[in-house]
Amino acid sequence: MKNAMNRRISLINAALLAAVSLLSIAAIAIPQARASAMLPADQCDAEAGSEHDLQRNLSFRPVATEDLRIGLALSACREAFNQGSGARQTFQLARVLHAAGQQSQAFTMLKKASEDGHAAAMVNYAVMLGERGEPEAEFQLYQKAAAAGNILAAYNLGVAYRDGVGTVADGALAAQWFERASAAQDHLGAFNLAVMLDEGVQIPEDNTKAARFYRLAADRGNVDAMINLGLMLEKGEGVKADPAAAGALFSKAAEKGDEYALSKLAAPQIDIATTADIEPGEQASLTVVKSGRME
């Protein structure tokens, strides 16, 4: 009876194993079947969607430029374009063409997608127009794309207003657009706003606010923000002095390979008790000018 029961259990296990094997085969086969059954427009979305495109197809994960499978993406996006798909696929075709080194064709596709109202295409087309010596057209496209909510456009518009690219330089407007980009989790927007507040050239200096935006940028991985915030913490500028917190930021930046941070960590510590005997000119040479770090 016991042997019969064991045999019955073995048979059940074998049946279950066979069922699991079949399910495994089906799990492998179904995605392949789905991939082959995809429309070219969907295949293009799957292979070339950009994380910076708010209009991308959210059914698929975005693909970083370095991860583009150019042959497959180019084939899918070309077919989608030939079938008259929308501006998103036209932009994605331009993106793959650019990655493939076909700049002239990419420019043509970006122009078309931009004219069809695709915000991410406008930003990339604007950059190319700027490279071709058309800053006014570049600026106008940034304005249009930023109004549509594109984060890169907001940041680039901040740069344009700060540097006077295609428009008159306006620090207040530059700060506004950098702050909008920062609110959308852009680390460069936060960092550049912090620099403007720190320097106090185009807008009033506000070290407390500068430290806050350096912190936002540093928390998002911006190495230069880590350094500048570390220097502020060392001196107690805009924040309460905290050498330990400054050192932690320098260490974090050093882990990312920043040479300045490495030099800060390697530098011998200054004995505050002995600085009273140092001439003022010599003491000044022991400090690092923060503004020299900013770019």
DSSP string, 149-186: T-HHHHHHHHHHHHHTSSS---HHHHHHHHHHHHHTT-
Whether 104 and 164 share a structural domain: no
* Residue appearing with tokens 């296990």: 13
pLDDT at 18 over 50: no
The mean pLDDT of 227-256, rounded to a whole number, is: 96
Whether 179 and 191 share a structural domain: no
Whether 159 and 193 share a structural domain: no
Whether 119 and 56 share a structural domain: yes
Q: How confident is the model at residue 38 (pLDDT cuts 50, 70, 90)?
A: confident
Of residues 225, 220, 235, 223, the one with CA closest to residue 270: 235
Whether 204 and 259 share a structural domain: yes
What's phi and psi for 125, nearest 5 deg? -65, -40
Residue 171 lies in a domain: yes
Whether 121 and 137 share a structural domain: no
Residue 14 lies in a domain: no
Q: Which of 93, 125, 157 is the last residue of a domain?
A: 125
DSSP state of 268: P
Round to whole Å and give the CA distance between 202 and 177: 14
Whether 217 and 199 share a structural domain: yes
Residue 276 lies in a domain: no
Neighbouring C-beta atoms of residue 22, cutoff 10 Å = 10
Round to whole Å and give the CA distance between 247 and 258: 14
Residue 275 lies in a domain: no
Q: Which tokens belong to 127? A: 């950059």
pLDDT at 151 over 60: yes
Round to whole Å and give the CA distance between 166 and 183: 25
Range of the domain at 80: 38-125
DSSP state of 242: -
Residue 200 lies in a domain: yes
Per-residue pLDDT of 159-208, as tens digits, reads 999 999 999 999 999 999 999 999 999 999 999 999 999 999 999 999 99
Per-residue pLDDT of 178-189, as tens digits, reads 999 999 999 999
Beta strands in the chain (DSSP E): none
Residue 211 lies in a domain: yes
Round to whole Å and give the CA distance between 250 and 244: 10
Whether 163 and 176 share a structural domain: yes
Judge contact between 261 and 226, C-beta under 8 A.
Answer: yes
The mean pLDDT of 9-26, rounded to a whole number, is: 35
Whether 199 and 109 share a structural domain: no
The 3-state DSSP composition of the chain as helix, strand, coil percent (nearest 5) reads: 75, 0, 25
* 175 CB-near residues (< 8 Å, 6+ apart): 158, 193, 196, 197, 202, 203
Q: Which of 162, 184, 206 is the last residue of a domain?
A: 184
Whether 179 and 198 share a structural domain: no
Whether 295 and 195 share a structural domain: yes
Whether 153 and 230 share a structural domain: no
Count of structural domains within the chain: 3
Residue 282 lies in a domain: no
User: Percent of the chain having pLDDT more than 90?
Assistant: 76
Query: pTM to 2 decimals?
Result: 0.76
Which contacts of 99-107 are long-range, i.e. CB under 8 A and separated by 24 or more positions? Answer: 99/65, 99/68, 99/70, 100/70, 100/74
pLDDT at 53 over 70: yes
CATH number at residue 235: 1.25.40.10
Q: Which of 90, 108, 125 is the last residue of a domain?
A: 125
Residue 279 lies in a domain: no
Q: Which tokens belong to 190? A: 């936060």
